[in-house]
Amino acid sequence: MAVEVKLTTDNWEQEVLKSDIPVLVDFWAPWCGPCRMVAPVVSEIAHEYEGKLKVGKLNTDEEPDIAVRYGIMSIPTLMVFKNGEVVDQIIGAAPKEYFTQRLDKIL
Amino acid sequence: MYDVVIVGGGPAGLTAGIYAARSGLKTIILEDKVFGGQIVFSADLENYPGFPEGISGMDIIDKFLEQAKKFDVEISYDGVESIENDISCKRVILKNKSCITTKTVILATGASADKLGCPGEAKFLGKGVSYCATCDGAFFKGKTVAVIGGGDSALEEALYLANLVKKIYLIHRRDQFRAVKILQDRIKKNNKVEIIFDNVVKEILGDKFVKGVLIENVKTKQQSRLDIDGIFIYIGLTPNSKFVSNLIQTDEYGYIIANEEMETNIPGIYAAGDARKKSLRQVVTACADGAIAASNAQKYIEKMKA
């Protein structure tokens, strides 16, 4: 079962801004090598934090409006949303512990 | 206990993994960031034999990974804190504080992109400052960017960006490039690229996003400001060897000293790829190092048994 939600302009408000639990959004694109390589780490996080954290993927190629809205100019960027607000962002690939430490502080 | 622990999942580490596992050794590759390392930043490899039409860095790494998995190499997203050497084994201490014991270690940790270290660089990371043209180039379509550096990477990435952006300032601190001639010729022919020699970056300027860069001529000390939307930095590399500096000999830049057999100063610990002191850092030489390191790890293990 895929625990990562595919985010679009249409479901952004419902899935991210109005989510009951914090949301980790992975901004990525198919031509971005580091994004593709970071994907398994994001996927592991999605499984380990299931129920506590929603994990969504936003393809900046398909959804440029949302990327522009949040000033994304570098991918991969991981953003954490809580009650509709951006509470943390990590730009670029990083070790898994780095992601989980930052998440544990927020959750 | 493992036979081989490989630290780093780039071309050197993955090749070492393929060779070690194929010869029946219990093998794990530890990668704390991105499998593939620097090469996944590359849009097109033109000089890796077997791909006359070129291949992207991430496509080739996908194939390496697939091949490693075929031979049952274990892979893990764990960072390494330190390595301890004992008479009969080595202990690899992970960043999550757990410990792996192994008969041999292959250090294939690669190198990381250097930072300029000037004001604005950290502040505007992801807001116009980038170290990956293939990742971020698309956000600068029709805009003006600066590329900093004079080596192969800087010129290759500038040529890649030239397909997307309106204009590129290629800024280099010396009065000539280090890059190979074929790249220099292509750069000079490209009418989107304006070459600025003898200049260094003093500050990256902007508000929420990058808006400009302050550069200084190293000879005349004259400063000038360029209006740009993005800056791509390719000024060199630092080997990822600090975590073993208490145990493993390096040169003054941190490159691990290993001989032609990839043996470091510690028996049973090998180095392979860009982290090693050598003259040519390419995917093909990283692979060669990895194969030699794995083969010698196997010989070392056989000798232990005897």
Chain length of chain B: 306
In this predicted model, what pLDDT tens digit does every residue of A52-62 receive, in sequence order?
999 999 999 99
Dihedrals φ, ψ of B169, to 5°? Answer: -95, 120
Q: Which of B36, B79, B138 sits opposite A33 (nearest CB)?
A: B36
Work out whether strand A23-28 and strand A54-59 pair parallel, antiparallel, or are unpaired.
parallel
Buried residues in B93-120 as b, exposed as e (16+ CB within 10 A): ebbeeeebebbbbbbbbbbebeebeeeb
DSSP 3-state assignment of A102?
helix
Q: Which residues of B touch A89 (CB under 8 A)?
A: 126
In this complex, do A33 and B96 lie within 8 Å of one another by their Cβ atoms? Answer: no
DSSP 3-state assignment of A39?
helix
In this complex, do A38 and B139 lie within 8 Å of one another by their Cβ atoms? Answer: no
In this complex, do B135 and A74 lie within 8 Å of one another by their Cβ atoms? Answer: yes
In this predicted model, what pLDDT tens digit does every residue of B94-130 receive, in sequence order?
988 899 999 999 999 999 999 999 999 999 999 999 9
DSSP 3-state assignment of A24?
strand
Check if the beta carbon of residue A40 is closer than 8 Å to that of residue B48: no
Active site residue A32: yes
What pLDDT was estimated at residue B64?
A: 96
Average pLDDT rounded to a whole number, residues B242-268? 97
Q: What is the pTM of this model?
A: 0.84
DSSP 3-state assignment of A70?
coil
Verify cis geometry, omega within 30 degrees of 0, for the bond prior to A76. Answer: yes
Q: Name the burial class of residue B15, with classes exposed (0-12), middle (13-18) and buried (19+) by CB atoms within 10 angstroms of its CB.
A: buried
CA angle B255, B257, B261 (to 5 degrees): 130
What pLDDT was estimated at residue A2?
A: 60
Interface residue ranges in chain A relative to chain B, Cβ cutoff 8 Å: 29, 31-38, 40-41, 44, 60-61, 67, 71-77, 89, 91-97
In this predicted model, what pLDDT tens digit does every residue of B138-197 receive, in sequence order?
999 999 999 999 999 999 999 999 999 999 999 999 999 999 999 999 999 999 999 999
